Structure 1
């Protein structure tokens, strides 16, 4: 049975030498930063996320994947700890490039090879068994880590977890009602969702979900030992940025994956996603309505 780890956490198996906190803070190879958080590449083997807006559930997700779904390629977590109010995630650095940087230059056969790898990955995720009965929430056993479930009641937390899909849907609708009431708007649409949303969003099981399947979160590593007679390349695939992962209804992955390209149907990626993520058209349509109202 999966049990989230306690902090501080450090992987016991052989691993690269881990940097000290001072070395991390002194690192100038910055991949991304905000006022509160930063991602740095310490060396060829290690990348570190740290700051006040980094979340433990991303680290717990990486540990869960390594221990229980190792066939899903994801960065390995070496250490997770707090220093003051800052959380540090010390992780394996994945070589290669983000898929969005090379997708337009790939041949049809090379794209097919990448899609085939993604099919295997998401098939393994759909087969994974949730460790808690009828559970909808984070891989850490906590709430639903998605902006639609960020509480509109003013308590600055994510709602959940939920037992059963009806409770999950009720939590989503209840959050919309809280937003309506907070803004003193008429509640007719909230009543509509309360009456009809569960008729569409029903019959879905908890499914291991990445929650942010965009090309920028798919790392591509060329396999130089493998190419075909035409000289076309083969690639390994690794999914990164698991902070939105969790046990969601099985339509959720496509809803999240479709969001970035709602108005980008002139690109072939929007068509190829359906090759490896299950498509739920009715659920996607109703979720896009909710997203326009409740999304950030």
Structure 2
């Protein structure tokens, strides 16, 4: 099990975080009923059509698959994730594949964020989405820049800290978003089950959620890790097997809109100096989660006790104090 300095006090207590979340005036309400339809959407008002002329059309699924075969030979036989297809001449990138790796939820999230936080949180513009042959196709802006992962080693300390300050401002803006009145749930913006990659496991079939309280979510998470432990508890059903970590999950945690994978590979930056964050990409795991989730997931995907984990993540995300217990559940699910 990883250790995250559990003896150190977190940057803010659960009570303080809850009060702050309650007192923050929401900048924007996100309603699942106002999202574009999941079946198919084409945004004719987007820059793709104004930039490429009145006769512009999004590539067909057949064209995307054909170009994918050229750009990424053999990738369509993968069971993991097909690399996105680039249309440099159109300023377009297409993410396609099957659930749970590619879902319309990512497109809906990008659509909502571009409208809610256009001057606060840079994300790719989404041009549309469709379904074909059991796969989802999301058409979006090809962001110009390089990943922070690629540029990190060449950055000065001033630029590194500057990037983290920018990220903190962006995440603070994201935290101002709230559920629309009458809606409260844990799941994707479209009220679908959570799509975090740790739930892509045999135990979560069919997928659980959405959940209408933090307690309900934690109870489900606790139940999810128990199958396979029956041989330690003869005669007991999974629901009867004790979970010694359940009481450590904070049922009073606020629920916030979460990216779910703030890894340097998903942070696009400029190539000049001072280094500027030009976009946060890859929102396929995003949704409404307890507020500790973002920090726990970020440190879990970082090199153990590396500088990104120990020094830089805390510059843009507050230590939730729950990373150790989160690690137990993620590990039990095979992640």
Tell me the TM-score normalised to structure 1 length: 0.85
Q: Check if 1:244 corresponds to 2:289.
A: no
- Tell me by how many angstroms 1:255 deviates: 0.9
What is the match of residue 220 of structure 2? 171
Of 89, 96, 101 in structure 2, the residue corresponding to residue 50 of structure 1 is 96
Deviation string, structure 1 residues 111-157 (Cα, Å, up to 9, x no partner)? 12211110111001111112354311112211111244457557x33
What is the match of residue 277 of structure 1? 317
Matches of 1:211 and 1:221 in 2, distance apart? 23
Q: Which range is displaced more, 184-193 or 61-70?
A: 184-193
Moved over 6 A (4+): 187-190
What is the match of residue 229 of structure 1? none
CA contact (8 A) 1:60 1:140 kept: yes
Could you say which structure has the higher strand fraction?
Answer: 1
Q: 1:91 to 1:39 in 2, by over 3 A?
A: same
Q: Check if 1:11 corresponds to 2:48.
A: no
Matches of 1:288 and 1:52 in 2, distance apart? 27
What is the match of residue 227 of structure 1? none
Q: Check if 1:24 corresponds to 2:64.
A: yes
Q: Secondary structure at the match of 1:119?
A: helix
- Tell me by how many angstroms 1:39 deviates: 1.3
Q: Check if 1:214 corresponds to 2:263.
A: yes
Q: Which range is displaced more, 35-44 or 208-217?
A: 35-44
Q: How does 1:1-296 map to 2 (within 5 A)?
A: 1-3=31-33, 4-6=35-37, 7-16=39-48, 17=56, 18-27=58-67, 28-30=70-72, 33-35=75-77, 37-44=82-89, 45-53=91-99, 54-70=102-118, 71-131=120-180, 133-150=183-200, 152-153=202-203, 156-181=205-230, 184-186=231-233, 191-193=241-243, 197-222=246-271, 232-261=273-302, 263=304, 265-268=305-308, 270-281=310-321, 283-296=322-335
Q: Secondary structure at the match of 2:229?
A: helix
- Tell me by how many angstroms 1:192 deviates: 4.0
- Tell me by how many angstroms 1:52 deviates: 2.8
Deviation string, structure 1 residues 70-106 (Cα, Å, up to 9, x no partner)? 3321111111001222211111111111111111110
- Tell me by how many angstroms 1:30 deviates: 4.1
What is the match of residue 28 of structure 2? none
Q: Secondary structure at the match of 1:237?
A: strand
List runs of 5+ in structure 1 lacking aligned partners.
225-231
Aligned pair count reads: 282
- Tell me by how many angstroms 1:295 deviates: 2.8
Deviation string, structure 1 residues 28-56 (Cα, Å, up to 9, x no partner)? 33499452534110125100012334212
Instruction: Supply the RMSD in Å over aligned alpha carbons.
Output: 2.6
Tell me the TM-score normalised to structure 2 length: 0.76
Q: Secondary structure at the match of 1:78?
A: strand
List runs of 5+ in structure 2 lacking aligned partners.
1-30, 49-55
Q: 1:150 to 1:41 in 2, by over 3 A?
A: closer
Q: 1:60 to 1:33 in 2, by over 3 A?
A: farther
Q: 1:241 to 1:161 in 2, by over 3 A?
A: same
Q: Which range is displaced more, 252-261 or 47-56?
A: 47-56
Matches of 2:330 and 2:83 in 1, distance apart? 28
Q: Secondary structure at the match of 1:121?
A: helix
